[in-house]
Structure 1
Amino acid sequence: MTNFTAEDALHIYSYASEKAISAFCFVMTATETGFVLGKSRLAPANTTIQRLELCAAVLATEVAEIISEHLDYPMERFIFNSDSRVVLGYLNNQSRRFYTYVANRVQIILKRTNVHQWNYVHTSNNPADLATRCATPAKKLDANMWITGPNTLPNETRCPDTFTLVDEDKDSKIRPFVKVSKTDINRDITETFEKFFSWKSLIKVESLTDKKRVGSKSSIALLNPFLDKNGTLRMGWRIHKATFNTDFKHPILVPRKSHIAGLLVNNFHVLVHHQGTLYTEAALRNHGYWIVGVKRLVSSIIYQCVTCRRLRGNLVNQRIANLPEDRLTPGPPFTYVGVDTFGPWPVVTRRTRGGVAESKRWAIIFVCLFTGAAHIEVIEDMSSSAFINALRRFISVRGPVKEF
């Protein structure tokens, strides 16, 4: 091909046998066909032909990436041809899941190409088949289709049918369906009525539905409950005319012994970062929930919270280490001493007619480790020479020191 243009189509053919896999690229126009690039690899041992055909399809995408990089040809315009309906079924699959080996390679192919770029070609018209056969180079050169391309135009090799999975129930690379049976139990309202032993009790329960007040002996009677337009039980307060949102003015009533109440408390207890009962209750209230008997429920959940028990556990007292031998061995004072410095403090060093000159002073303290006696030396600055002079004065008065 001497006059290659961007309008010419690049076709890549892939093929796999038990001995090798291959992929070849040809540039095709209405008048001629030319060889562009081909690659082949030895097939790995102990694998199935379906896996090898999938590996050949991956090799075809690698060839396309090489050509796209060097010829500046977009990947979306390549046309891929394979004689494996199994591979084409894998690529067009939308309903089944594959095991890891197949799933990874299908993901690689679909990441580099589009499923609509893949077509079917018959094996007899697949030039990539020649690269997987054992033959001498002379015989390879004699193979006309390997150099000049397939015998028919690409439009004649395409299959208009939709590719589906081949023997999907018998294919070991496809994950089997897991069937789960679910039973929905529609409880009749009469089963709820059977829990009540008198007509008066049932009428009290149904009173809210009829827009009446609950019974005076109910645990939520003082909360003035009512049903909103969605049938949700809410708390009625005297702040109905306030400008707050509805969830704050009329929080949803939740029974303390219900599973939902425990989930709500756990959720907001974590949101407030385990800060205790008051913060958890406030978070529930601000988000529009009112749990009857919330203090007892929050306290029990916080008591069972592992994080809170660790944060509020008893403090461990650190055991004091044994005193060193220097502080327990009798001897002359200031045989073993500890040294420290303190200050500064201002002092008046010179008074003149024009004013007062002030400066700073520090002190070095020497403490006897056995008797606790202290010796103080005043220094004018924090320099090394000042400390050495103070140490010499201390030794001249107290005698030599064994250890500091």
Structure 2
Amino acid sequence: MVNRRTEDSAIESIKNQSSFTKIHEHPQIRINGSYVRATTYYIDCNRIELRYKEVTFWRDSMDVLWWVRGRSRSFKPFVANRIGEIQQKTNPNQWRHVPTKSNPADVASRGTTVESLKVNKMWWNGPEFLMECEERWPVNKIEQGGSVTEQRKYVRSFLNQVGPLNIDDDWRLDPKRYSSWSRLIRIAAYVHRFITNCRSNKNYRVYRRLEHKEIQYAELSIIRKAQQESFPSDIRNLKENGIVGSNSVLSTLTPTVDEDGVLRMTGRLSLVEALPHDVRYPIILPRKHPVTELIVKKYHDLGKHVAGTNHILSLLSERYWIIHNREEIPRL
């Protein structure tokens, strides 16, 4: 259920999904309705250019509301992909809990007659509390969802009991000691897995070959540490104020910190939805840092050491943005 706040509150639409299978047996079905509503809202605002004063999404499923407020990568791919899209198109604070007895969608899903539907005020106008001030709406107390089947197996509360995994505070893999970016990442990934296995119950330990998500996590951890060493004040300003100082070397890049704590650049390409995420929001790399040197060296190797500066820049721009890049690449 979605309502838009104007001078007179109103229900914009009610999305009802029916299934021949009991919905509580398939948590994936619950997230689909929310994904459809978030996508419709995004299209309304960005393509049709409708302007709403305020939009609220109502769900009676605590699982979905908990997922929307969580980290998408903590769940299995089906749910994670949709949670990521929902979080990109809406703000988690827009999602609120509606009691089952006040949910108009249940009127259809539980069966009713045409005659009853004609006179059902909740179906046509929504719950009565929408006509009142927001302070009198139901308390939005989001409790942890009861379904854990959609969580990845390596995400366990056991880790929280031991303590959070934070490699950044005590980094032992010095990039200066490595001549290959790929080798550094793989060793870091194995170190992360070893620590995770030590903190996990033996039934959930992983011994197979490295997965893509483990390599990606290790890579982002190394880059994040390099950024923290080179731009500590800028990252602090972004987290506290949302902007960097006017004298910062990053001021012209419109930087932002993503959900992984990685510093990224935003620009006109961020508006082109057809491009990959890394192209729209390239990772900012500091100049003259060992991590940057290893990454540039990797692309020099891809170019067989004969590619010019422009070609190396075009390859790097698919994911990275180096400060003073045209000076950095010839230097290496």
Structure 1 and Structure 2 fold alike (TM over 0.5): no
Larger radius of gyration: 1
Q: Hey, which of these two has a bigger chunk of strand by percent?
A: 1
Choose between structure 1 and 2 for higher RCO, CA contacts under 8 A separated by at least 6 residues. Answer: 2
Structure holding more helix per residue: 2
Q: TM-score range by the shorter chain?
A: 0.3 to 0.5
